């Protein structure tokens, strides 16, 4: 149906029913399905904002993965600055690119983080990362609580954090367990086995099973969280994903010619490891989860669960509770407050009034 054409509404034009006027249902469909077209037009105008963060120890290929994501076939974009050798990441750094496909605009931001775990004492090495994630919630909250607020609040909140597990082939290290436990309470986390080309296919599978076991033992609830499956279809789709997580990924930012095709891959003595070839690694699964299948769900859980937890705690800890219509005086949080781990509260669906626009 042409989305711009308004369907004639028999109910609007008809007078109140009387014995001589037939009821609405008898005049045929009202045209409710047109609301889908209206939504589509609105969403296409506004576009989507989506923010990803990569986290893990130094040297695991996080910065390379940022480039891989932008250069992979789905996104086919070359943001300025990519293509040059990846320098060591010394501070949190975001790359944003607007990708447009069939009239749909996606403003994708990937935040690269410095590696951690290089120090002799790695106590609290998660603080800068958790601090950044909470700072974005705080920013959103400060905008949201204004009496006169913007119609669209810019969304810098991290919707998904890709956590790089070193390819040891054994199990999760205590540092990863501690980090993941904290991270999962604050943000959606998708763990990946980094530099998977250093493991054989059998080693990858065995490592994946052990990591899954570790996650269960230590109550680390990574994305997609089972408790948020809404119906049987979610359950089926997400169960398959949970079987495959952590994905064994390989990152590359160089293109090579293979059988006349230009592919993104790593050149080795034995041949090219193609990052977008499922026979070589599971990067396509990660990319598809992030963009093709779960983008909106990741945003919804961020808004309805993680941000909601943050909001409730911040509003409760501010001693000045509402003193009349619209009154909230919320002092900005101190950095110490922002990194405090909080309990995970499932309140998905509580508030779903996010509006995307850029």
Instruction: Name the residues that contact Mg ion, by CB under 5 A.
Output: 62-63, 89
- Chain residues binding ligand GDP by CB under 6 A are 58-64, 86, 89, 115, 195, 197-198, 250-251, 266
Interaction partner, residue 246 (ligand GDP, Mg ion, none; CB < 5-8 Å by kind): none
| In the complex, minimum distance from the CB of residue 180 to ligand GDP, in angstroms, rounded to a whole number | 17
Nearer Cβ to ligand GDP (55/153): 55
Interaction partner, residue 79 (ligand GDP, Mg ion, none; CB < 5-8 Å by kind): none
Nearer Cβ to ligand GDP (215/281): 281
Alpha helical stretches, state H, the chain: 10-13, 34-46, 62-71, 127-144, 174-184, 201-217, 232-244, 283-287, 295-301, 307-317, 335-338
Residue carrying structure tokens 């790695």 = 122
In three-state secondary structure terms, 77 is coil
Interaction partner, residue 31 (ligand GDP, Mg ion, none; CB < 5-8 Å by kind): none
| In the complex, minimum distance from the CB of residue 89 to ligand GDP, in angstroms, rounded to a whole number | 5
Rg (the chain; Cα; Å): 24
Interaction partner, residue 197 (ligand GDP, Mg ion, none; CB < 5-8 Å by kind): ligand GDP
| In the complex, minimum distance from the CB of residue 283 to ligand GDP, in angstroms, rounded to a whole number | 9
DSSP state at residue 318: S
Angle at 179 between CA 175 and CA 182, to 5 degrees: 145
Interaction partner, residue 251 (ligand GDP, Mg ion, none; CB < 5-8 Å by kind): ligand GDP
Residue 121 tokens read as 């004492």
Alpha carbon distance 212, 217 (integer Å): 9
Chain centroid, CA 203 distance in Å: 28
CB 233 within 8 A of CB 293: no
Helix, strand, coil in percent for the chain, rounding step 5: 35, 15, 45
| In the complex, minimum distance from the CB of residue 68 to ligand GDP, in angstroms, rounded to a whole number | 8
| In the complex, minimum distance from the CB of residue 137 to ligand GDP, in angstroms, rounded to a whole number | 25
Q: Which residue's Cβ has the minimum distance to ligand GDP? A: 61
């Amino acid at each position: 149906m042409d989305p711009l054409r308004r369907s004639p509404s028999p109910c609007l034009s008809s007078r109140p029913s009387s014995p001589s006027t037939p009821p609405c249902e008898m005049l045929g469909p009202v045209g409710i399905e047109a609301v889908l077209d209206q939504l589509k037009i609105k969403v296409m105008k506004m576009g989507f904002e989506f923010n990803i963060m990569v986290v893990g120890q130094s040297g695991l290929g996080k910065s390379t993965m940022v480039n891989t994501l932008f250069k992979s076939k789905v996104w086919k974009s070359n943001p300025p600055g990519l293509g040059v050798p990846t320098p060591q990441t010394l501070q949190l750094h975001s790359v944003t690119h607007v990708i447009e496909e069939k009239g749909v605009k996606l403003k994708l931001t990937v935040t690269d983080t410095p590696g951690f775990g290089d120090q002799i004492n790695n106590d609290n090495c998660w603080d800068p990362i958790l601090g950044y994630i909470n700072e974005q919630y705080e920013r959103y909250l400060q905008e949201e609580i204004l009496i006169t607020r913007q119609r669209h609040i810019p969304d810098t909140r991290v919707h998904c954090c890709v956590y790089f597990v070193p390819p040891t082939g054994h199990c999760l290290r205590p540092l990863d367990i501690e980090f993941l436990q904290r991270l999962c309470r604050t943000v959606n986390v998708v763990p990946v086995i980094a530099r998977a080309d250093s493991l054989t296919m059998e080693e990858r599978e065995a490592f994946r099973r052990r990591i899954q076991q570790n996650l269960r033992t230590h109550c680390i609830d990574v994305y997609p969280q089972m408790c948020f499956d809404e119906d049987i279809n979610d359950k089926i789709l997400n169960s398959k994903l949970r079987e495959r997580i952590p994905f064994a990924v390989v990152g590359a930012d160089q293109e090579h010619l293979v059988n006349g095709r230009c592919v993104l891959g790593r050149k080795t003595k034995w041949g090219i490891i193609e990052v977008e070839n499922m026979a070589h690694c599971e990067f396509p699964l990660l990319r598809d989860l992030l963009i093709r299948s779960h983008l909106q769900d990741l945003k919804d859980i961020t808004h309805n669960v993680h941000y909601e937890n943050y909001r409730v705690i911040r509003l409760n800890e501010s001693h000045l509770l509402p003193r009349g219509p619209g009154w909230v005086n919320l002092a900005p949080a101190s950095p110490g407050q922002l990194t405090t781990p909080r309990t995970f509260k499932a309140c998905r669906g509580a508030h779903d009034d996010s509006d995307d626009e850029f």
